[in-house]
Amino acid sequence: MGNGYRSKESLSGSLLDIDLIECGKEQCVPQKHVVPMAKDCYTIHYVMNGSGFIKYNDVKEEVFAGDCFIIRPKMLVEYYPQDISPWCYSWIVFTGLYAEKIADEIFPDKGQILYKTGKDGKLEELFDKLVYAYFKEGKITLEAIGYTYLIFNRLSEILGEKNIKTKRINQQEIHIRETKDFINFNYMFDISVKDIANSQHVSPNYLCSVFRKQMGISPKQYITSVRMQRAKNILELYDFKVKDVALMVGYKDQLHFSHEFKKHFGVSPSNIKISGGKK
């Protein structure tokens, strides 16, 4: 039997970077079966002893002592202990302004949830100290937050050392990043997918394929999204005419701009009210 600790009193809730929601340690019984439930937070489990199974996207993997797995927001992950040697694990649940950035730095592959960290006495000690720091106060304290960051750092050290010799730059990710940068710096001009592809010396078809595969939208749709969001920000902050805003974000035709804006936000640009800034 184990314990998971949470409290409505949370010091970290007032901080912008990381909000530690819950932590705990549990020796699971064979019948302990966690039903998949999508949450708006990150959960990291570290298995100290025993073994179990995780199932995600119909793929089942066995998890052993020294492994850790991360559940990102909206993920539906099923996990349960092995019958003969049920696992004992520690876990932390967190969110916050920099939660995604920290998770991505430690676990860079968003399609991977299981990582072979190996048995690590220092990591186990940090998890134990985190749980104790929370248990003795019954709420999130600066001490608990400190141990959370130390756990992040230790996981980063372990996984970084394991991957440093085999780490390779994914060329497709470079193309995606450069495409986004090109658009973010040039959305106010009359740019095309061909212009972006030429800047990277690849074909427009190839660029559209890899971009859509990773981002879920085409480069052209991304251009529109960037332009619309920038236009909305300008309209909310400044008292510019719609035709001027259209030119600022790369549209020579005001009617075309207004049509795209209403399609994107469900309201015409002329109905956006100023919320601050210059009038």
Residue 56: CATH number of its domain = 2.60.120.280
For a pLDDT cut of 70, what percent of the chain falls above it? 89
Largest CA-CA distance found in the chain, in angstroms, rounded: 71
Single-letter amino acid code for the residue at 223: I
Cβ atoms of 234 and 250 within 8 Å: the answer is no
- Domain harbouring 235, CATH code: 1.10.10.60
> What mean pLDDT do residues 134-144 have?
83
Average of per-residue pLDDT across 69-98: 92
Confirm if 18 and 92 have CB atoms less than 8 A apart.
no
Count of structural domains within the chain: 2
Pair 231, 246: CB distance under 8 Å: yes
- The C-alpha atoms of residue 193 and residue 183 are separated, in whole angstroms, by 10
Question: What is the distance between the alpha carbons of residues 240 and 20, in angstroms, rounded to a whole number?
Answer: 43
Here the tokens at position 163 are 């991957």
pLDDT at site 12: 46
Q: What crossing angle do the helices spanning 219-237 and 193-200 adopt, rounded to 10°? A: 110
Give the Å distances, CA to CA, from 256 to 124, 144, 222.
59, 54, 17
**Residue 32: domain span:** 3-163
Least confident among 7-21, 36-50, 71-85, 204-218: 7-21
Co-location of 225 and 96 in the same domain:
no
Residues 112 and 188 both lie in one domain = no
Asked if 16 and 145 touch (Cβ cutoff 8 Å), the reply is: no
Residues 24 and 157 in one domain: yes
Whether the Cβ atoms of residue 36 and residue 11 lie closer than 8 Å to each other: no
Asked if pLDDT for residue 179 goes beyond 90, the answer is yes
- Least confident range from 117-126, 170-179, 185-194, 197-206: namely 170-179
- End-to-end, the C-alpha distance of the chain in Å comes to 63
Asked whether residue 1 carries a pLDDT value surpassing 80, the answer given is no
Residue 108 predicted with pLDDT over 80: yes
Instruction: Report which listed range, 5-14, 30-39, 91-100, is most confident.
Output: 91-100
Range 55-59 average pLDDT: 88
Instruction: Tell whether 144 and 184 lie within a shared domain.
Output: no
Q: Are residues 101 and 119 in the same domain?
A: yes
- Which pLDDT score, from 0 to 100, does residue 181 have? 92
Asked whether residue 278 is assigned to any structural domain, the reply reads no
